[in-house]
């Protein structure tokens, strides 16, 4: 393991099995440092397996990746979620298994780090003696703590501390990363990232973690200090710590020496040669020259010091917001579906047959979509009676309809999609279209394929069955 990353996990003092796993490695091309902490949920029979599936899937997705980093991270989460969900429904003993995960990728060449987070494992950034919590605990108690309604000590001792809202395996699908907290931030020389499970943060407070890091030493020494601190506090859960350091040297600028420190007896004078009388340099004129330069330099130094002081005060006042992902806080609040959307989702969920007819007398066009409509059933024939148009809400970037992994056949008949980034997200050969129109949709259909694990695959998609159709007959 390189000197800029270290990971360690410990059973703790009260558990008989370890449901924590971690990743601490470089990408295949050496560009990225990959750090991840995964905490299994669901007891002895499930938590370890869920965590292991997540670790294996994330490693496969990140072994040699390129392009935009955050979509790769959320894609790895979605793939792990689907595999855990399949295992939950394949084995009765694993029906409650899930895991929480925090994943960070550091790019030292550009001094940036990227992260994705789900659950109550945590990501911290340590810079210049200050420890800043980057991730948010996705739980009721975590919300109360982050919003200032509970102090850190009150949250650590709350009876519902470990009741989480989100995890891999809780739902059939993670729709385009909507449930995943993501972000990026500068990762400067000397900075350190700490990823950890709640086995550490439920026992050791922020001051204790800061003290262990500030004590210095190799990452292995710091990691062991944190493990020991959690065990000394009772070790009630498994404890996992991953540390990443930007070990590049800080840029140090040499301060220019004031002119008054130069030797006055040997001034360096460059005279421009002109056809005129030679210039006579007297001791008095030299004193005035040095005095002028000294005053100018003092003014510049005072001005620079004042600017630095203002920047530091501004940084201290806004430190928490500076390191958090630059997102509008309102955008993080889940949107409330409109009445048409609620009615549509209920109609799909509660329909007892395989055919669902949408009448334009019941659904007034356009039906504005602000959150993806999930189709999670074996088969469905969704047919429009009259003019049914699905239209994207302002700022909505996700699919209008998402076919769950357990869906085998869905057919859309005589509907229109307007203004979506992605109109339908399907998989394998589950989707069929009949007289469907896509207006101003960047990606009409986004399709994925599922293959057995660790099997050799040959072939490719067949010639698409989709074709331009004649105008539909009026109903």
Domain ranges in the chain are 5-245, 339-448
Coil, strand, or helix at residue 279?
A: coil
Q: What is the pLDDT of residue 204?
A: 96
Coil, strand, or helix at residue 14?
A: coil
Prediction pTM value: 0.56
Distance CA 444, CA 425 (A): 9
Q: What is the pLDDT of residue 321?
A: 41
Structure tokens at 437: 């129109």
Distance CA 449, CA 431 (A): 12
Distance CA 261, CA 139 (A): 62
Distance CA 152, CA 142 (A): 10
Task: Render each residue's pLDDT in the chain as its tens digit; 475 residues.
Answer: 467 999 999 999 998 899 999 999 998 888 999 999 999 987 656 899 999 999 999 999 998 888 899 999 999 999 999 999 999 888 888 888 999 999 999 999 999 999 999 999 999 999 999 999 999 999 888 888 888 888 999 999 898 888 888 899 988 877 655 689 999 999 999 999 999 999 999 999 999 999 999 998 999 999 999 999 999 999 999 999 999 999 888 765 444 444 444 444 434 433 344 444 444 444 454 455 556 677 777 777 787 777 666 665 554 444 334 333 333 333 333 446 788 899 999 999 888 888 999 998 889 889 999 999 999 888 999 999 999 999 999 888 899 999 988 888 999 999 999 999 999 999 888 899 999 999 999 999 998 887 776 677 777 665 455 666 655 555 4
CATH class of 5-245: alpha beta
* C-beta separation of 38 from 100 below 8 A: yes
370, 412, 364, 368: which is closest to 390 by C-alpha? 368
Distance CA 171, CA 161 (A): 21
Coil, strand, or helix at residue 312?
A: helix
Q: What is the pLDDT of residue 96?
A: 86
DSSP 114-179: EEEEESS-EEEEEETTEEEE-S---BHHHHHHHTTSS-HHHHHT-TTTT-BS--BTSSS---TTTT
* C-beta separation of 355 from 381 below 8 A: yes
Give every CB contact of residue 223 below 8 A, 6+ residues apart in sequence.
6, 7, 8, 241, 243
Q: What is the pLDDT of residue 308?
A: 65
DSSP assignment, residue 344? H
* Residues facing residue 11 across a β-bridge: none
Distance CA 408, CA 431 (A): 8
Distance CA 323, CA 184 (A): 8
């Amino acid at each position: 393991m390189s000197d800029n990353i270290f990971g360690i996990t410990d059973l703790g003092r009260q558990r008989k099995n370890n449901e924590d796993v971690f990743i601490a490695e470089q990408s295949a091309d050496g560009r990225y440092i990959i750090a991840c902490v995964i905490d299994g949920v669901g007891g002895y029979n499930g938590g370890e397996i869920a965590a292991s599936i997540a670790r294996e899937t994330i490693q496969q997705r990140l072994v040699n990746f390129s392009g935009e980093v955050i979509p790769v991270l959320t894609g790895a989460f979605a793939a792990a979620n689907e595999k855990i969900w399949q295992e939950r429904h394949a084995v009765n003993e694993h029906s409650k298994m899930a895991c929480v995960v925090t994943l960070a990728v550091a790019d030292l060449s550009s001094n940036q780090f990227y992260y994705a987070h789900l659950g109550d494992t945590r990501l911290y950034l340590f810079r210049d003696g200050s420890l800043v919590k980057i991730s948010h605990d996705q739980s009721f108690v975590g919300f109360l703590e982050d919003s200032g309604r509970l102090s850190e000590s009150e949250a650590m001792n709350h009876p519902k501390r470990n009741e989480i809202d989100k995890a891999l395996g809780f739902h059939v699908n993670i729709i385009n990363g909507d449930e995943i907290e993501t972000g990026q931030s500068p990762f400067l020389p000397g900075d350190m990232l700490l990823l950890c499970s709640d086995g550490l943060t439920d026992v050791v407070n922020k001051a204790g973690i800061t003290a262990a890091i500030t004590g210095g030493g190799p990452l292995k020494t710091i990691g062991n200090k944190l493990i020991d601190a959690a065990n000394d506090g009772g070790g009630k859960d498994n404890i996992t710590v991953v540390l990443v350091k930007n070990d590049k040297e800080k840029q140090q600028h040499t301060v220019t020496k004031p002119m008054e420190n130069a030797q006055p007896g040997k001034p360096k004078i460059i005279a421009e040669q002109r056809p005129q009388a030679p210039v006579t340099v007297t001791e008095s004129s030299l004193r005035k020259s040095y005095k002028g330069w000294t005053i100018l330099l003092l003014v510049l130094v005072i001005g620079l010091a004042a600017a630095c002081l203002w920047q530091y005060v501004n940084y201290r006042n806004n430190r928490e917001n500076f390191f958090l992902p630059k997102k509008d806080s309102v955008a993080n609040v889940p949107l409330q579906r409109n009445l048409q959307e609620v009615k549509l989702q209920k109609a799909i969920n509660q329909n007892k047959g395989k055919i669902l007819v949408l009448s334009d007398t019941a659904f007034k066009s356009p039906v504005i979509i602000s959150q993806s409509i999930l189709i999670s059933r074996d088969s469905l024939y969704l047919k429009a009676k009259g003019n049914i148009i699905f239209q994207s809400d302002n700022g909505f970037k996700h699919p209008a309809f998402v076919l769950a992994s357990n869906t085998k056949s869905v057919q859309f008949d005589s509907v229109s999609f307007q203004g979506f980034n992605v109109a339908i997200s399907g998989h394998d050969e589950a989707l069929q279209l009949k007289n469907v129109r896509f207006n101003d949709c960047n990606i009409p259909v986004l399709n994925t394929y599922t293959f057995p694990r660790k099997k050799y695959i040959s072939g490719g998609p067949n010639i698409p069955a989709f074709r331009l159709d004649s105008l539909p007959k009026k109903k």
